[in-house]
Amino acid sequence: MCLIERLDAAATISEAFTLGQEIHGHFVDGNVSFHPTIKPNRAVRRLASNGVATVWGQLNLSHQDIATRVNASCSLCIPSNWMERSPALRCLEIWIRGRERRDTRPEWHINDDDSFCYVLDAEWKELLDSVRSEHGPEAAMTAAAYYCINNVRWLLFRHLEGYRRKLRKWPREWPQWAHYAAGLQDYLAQRHRQLGLK
Amino acid sequence: MQIPFGQLIAFASRRTFQEAIANRRWEVGEVPYSDVRGYHLYSDLGLRLAISAAESDEAAYRNLQILQAYVSAAESAGEVTGMTFLEVQGRRLHLFREAASADDELAEEVRRGCRAFYELARRKILDVAPGTEFTIRMALDYGRAILLRSVGDDVSESIVSLGNAANRPAKKLARDVDRSGVPAGYLAINETAFGQDENQPPVWRLVDLTAPIVSRKTDDLLGESMVAFSAIENRARPFEPNPHNPVNAPRKRRGFMFRADLDGFSSRVSDAMSSGADAISSLVADFQVLMSYPVAFKDTLPDGVSVVAFPWAGDCANLLLECDDYAVERTYLPNRAAINWHDQGRGLAGNGTDWRSRMRGSKWLVAIAGGEQVEKEHGFILTGNVLASGRTFHVGSGWSWQRSLDAEQSTGTRPEDTVIHNEDYGGLDEPLRRPYSEHAAQPALFKIAPFDRLVKAQRDHDDKGRVSVPATVPSLGIKVNSPRPYVSH
């Protein structure tokens, strides 16, 4: 690796650290750990994702105009390529729905590795690229932290509601993307329509 | 099927009843009940709230020891005066003596028995917990009642009583002293019922139980009761796990005490009593089904909430909603549980049983108390089994036990109301507090909400959950997309 590449890599990691601090600022109580050289092996794949920093602690779930006293104990692992991939969310609260069975996890937006899919990465990337190009890298980090936390709160609160109401399935009236490749296609088709492309 | 009172008491023991079924002396589908006249004695033990709240494990354990001493004293005095336990509701006891008519001599004997019980309980409680401050209040009535076995998930071997003679003393004891309640150390006797007119409004006469015993007969009763107490004390080892003890006791549990009173059912009982045997049978059949209502109710609650059943107190169900995560449940459970309980009464949910038709126009009053999150004594109930007359009674003790009882017995409530403690109101998420207003009679303690307002607040809350809107990053004024989750792998 040449010096410029190493400087680029260091800058990327430094940005991920800063994003970790930004996200941590939204937590009620918690901490940030930095682990730029640790790569989780298969054994811990369900506990940790590839990333350079992890924020963990108590996140209050108030969002939009929903006020709640509930704090969720959760973690967000920030990848070095955070502009392309959203931080990996994990939450082990007892009220998380669908986790116990492999076939019910997708219903509640839980991936195979127990991380949560609270945002479509293509949508994440497009928004952050746009903010970065218009407002600069610092604004992109602040927006990324806010975007991430807003979506995390929204999703975890629906899990909480599902628990409170004993819901087995994700209600039809709660917005979601179609699962897997279909969701990405839907998103791209929507963007094409919005941009007036054929 | 109607049976003599003595047989009903024998059937209160689960083992005896199961044996009768196994030996084909009783049909499984038949509901045993007694339609019987007699003396109903209620006794309330009042402990200083710090002790009753069981703020430490030691105090909690002591609390149950006091309770057992009190119950054993009642059993001892009951043995020598012919009074039998119907219910042990924590610190409230209900004893009964069958009598076809209100006989002056018998009434006097029961009264002397109350005096002996008071004195024995006072001495034995002080033996267990020297220096403890407590009060005992009693109320005695005479009349007709329908008695049946407590069934459902409750492990107690309790007898439920329906009828004015069984209700009136409980209501009298629930009143504040400054609102015609019974002062500490007194027995209230319903004079009209003793005067052979059991259906007339009660007129209560107070008897001082604290006055020195001067009657030789009472003194003899006390002596005999003390002998009986020693024998009972040797038999009962109530706080050790034992073969007669179906749950491990004592247990400290965290959750909400939930009481649901079937408002308007008393008038149906009165109507049935004046209508004849068929009406009584129909009433008993309906009530037997309603006693399984908590079993259906528990299926409507979230997975992290389990239901611990205590004996019915007349037409009032008593449950502990035990919570895996009390902090989370405080934010919504009082409303959710109240709605589910009231709503199921309409036959909209549950296991297909048409509860509403069984209720025949009666409606529930729900009272809930849990307590504050960080206060040490709040949110905890100590449960245990008390032994009396060879039967097991599952009882509870603690701050929320008492406060939920106060809420249920508070005045100024209407059918389908939900009464919660102010501490629990404070724990709710803000939008779920909106249905509540101040409790007119006890604003310092409780909030109250009608069912339709609880439902509306819940619907508004649910509607908000459907919404996903773009948000603006405050420091930048930049909009981010509305949340919409996905599944990638």
* pLDDT at site A117: 94
Spatial distance between the Cα atoms of B451 and B38, rounded to a whole number of angstroms: 38
DSSP structure class, residue B2:
B
CATH number at residue B393: 3.30.70.1230
Place of tokens 């609650």: B301
Put simply, the answer to whether A64 touches B464 (Cβ < 8 Å) is yes
Nearest C-alpha of chain B: how many angstroms from A90? 14
Model confidence at B33, pLDDT cuts 50, 70, 90, reads very high
Best of A69, A157, A158, A165 to substitute, by most chain B Cβ atoms within 10 angstroms, is: A69
* pLDDT at site B152: 66
Residues B163 and B203 in one domain: yes
* Whether pLDDT at B242 is above 50: no
* Whether pLDDT at A165 is above 50: yes
Q: B 280-309 residues with CB below 8 A of A?
A: 300-304
> What does the pLDDT average to over B310-326?
92
Residues B285 and B225 in one domain: no
Burial classification of residue B462, based on how many CB atoms lie within 10 Å of its CB (0-12 exposed, 13-18 middle, 19 or more buried): middle
B374 in contact with chain A, both atoms CB, cutoff 8 A: no
Answer whether residue B69 is part of any domain: yes
Q: Which of B172, B201, B235 is the last residue of a domain?
A: B235
Residues B372 and B428 in one domain: yes
Model confidence at B357, pLDDT cuts 50, 70, 90, reads confident
DSSP structure class, residue B154:
-
Put simply, the answer to whether B483 touches A155 (Cβ < 8 Å) is yes
* pLDDT at site B241: 44
Q: What's the pTM value of the predicted model, to 2 decimals? A: 0.88
- Write out chain A residues lying below 8 Å of B325, CB-based: 93-95
* pLDDT at site A102: 85
- Domain range enclosing B290: 251-465
* Whether pLDDT at B349 is above 60: no
pLDDT in tens, B163-215: 999 989 998 998 877 778 899 999 999 988 887 677 788 899 999 999 888 88
Q: Are A16 and A80 in contact (CB under 8 A)?
A: yes
Best of A23, A68, A157 to substitute, by most chain B Cβ atoms within 10 angstroms, is: A68
Who wins on pLDDT, B17 or B62? B17
The backbone torsions φ and ψ at residue A79, rounded to the nearest 5 degrees and listed phi first, read -80, 160
B429 in contact with chain A, both atoms CB, cutoff 8 A: yes
Spatial distance between the Cα atoms of B313 and B200, rounded to a whole number of angstroms: 23
Nearest by CB: B483 against A68, A135, A151? A151
Answer whether residue B275 is part of any domain: yes
Residues B40 and B187 in one domain: yes
Spatial distance between the Cα atoms of A179 and A78, rounded to a whole number of angstroms: 23
Instruction: Please give the helix or strand (H or E) that residue A84 lies within, else none.
Output: none
Residues B201 and B310 in one domain: no
Q: Which of B235, B265, B282 is the last residue of a domain?
A: B235
* Whether pLDDT at B364 is above 90: yes
Put simply, the answer to whether A68 touches B464 (Cβ < 8 Å) is no
Put simply, the answer to whether A117 touches B483 (Cβ < 8 Å) is no
- Percent of residues, chain B, with pLDDT higher than 70: 90
Who wins on pLDDT, B450 or B488? B450
Spatial distance between the Cα atoms of B97 and B315, rounded to a whole number of angstroms: 21
Instruction: Write the DSSP string, A20-41.
Output: HHHHHTT-SEEEEEE-TT----
Residues B218 and B292 in one domain: no
B336 in contact with chain A, both atoms CB, cutoff 8 A: yes
- Write out chain B residues lying below 8 Å of A171, CB-based: 466
Nearest C-alpha of chain B: how many angstroms from A137? 13
Instruction: Write the DSSP string, B337-402.
Output: HHHHHHHHTTTSSSSS--HHHHHTT-EEEEEEE---SSSTTTTEEEEEEEEETTEEEEEEESHHHH
- Write out chain A residues lying below 8 Å of B304, CB-based: 94-95, 163
Question: Which range among B194-198, B419-423, B460-464 has the greatest average pLDDT?
Answer: B419-423
Q: A 63-122 residues with CB below 8 A of B?
A: 63-70, 93-95, 106, 109-113, 116-121
ipTM of the complex: 0.89
Place of tokens 């005096």: B115
* Whether pLDDT at B326 is above 80: yes
Spatial distance between the Cα atoms of A151 and A171, rounded to a whole number of angstroms: 17
- Write out chain A residues lying below 8 Å of B486, CB-based: 109, 117, 119-120, 176-177, 179, 183
pLDDT in tens, B96-139: 999 988 888 888 888 989 999 999 999 999 988 888 889 999 99
Answer whether residue B471 is part of any domain: no
Q: Which of B200, B235, B270 is the last residue of a domain?
A: B235
pLDDT in tens, A82-103: 999 999 999 999 999 998 888 8
Model confidence at A44, pLDDT cuts 50, 70, 90, reads low
Residues B407 and B437 in one domain: yes
Output the CA–CA distances (angstroms, integers) from residue A188 to A62, A181, A182, B375, in the order listed: 30, 11, 10, 53
B477 in contact with chain A, both atoms CB, cutoff 8 A: no
Q: Which of B383, B150, B148 is nearest to B246 (CA)?
A: B383
Q: Which of B324, B318, B440 is nearest to B379 (CA)?
A: B324
* Whether pLDDT at A35 is above 90: no
Domain-wise residue ranges, chain A: 3-195
Average pLDDT value over all residues in chain B: 86
Question: Which range among A48-52, A112-116, A165-169, B330-334 has the greatest average pLDDT?
Answer: B330-334
Model confidence at A38, pLDDT cuts 50, 70, 90, reads low
Residues B107 and B131 in one domain: yes
> What does the pLDDT average to over B253-271?
90
Place of tokens 């937006």: A109
> What does the pLDDT average to over B416-424?
96
* pLDDT at site A104: 87
Residues B182 and B71 in one domain: yes
Model confidence at B391, pLDDT cuts 50, 70, 90, reads confident
Q: Is A115 helix (H, G, I), strand (E, B) or coil?
A: coil
Answer whether residue B483 is part of any domain: no
Number of domains in chain B: 2
Who wins on pLDDT, B61 or A193? A193
Q: Is A174 helix (H, G, I), strand (E, B) or coil?
A: coil
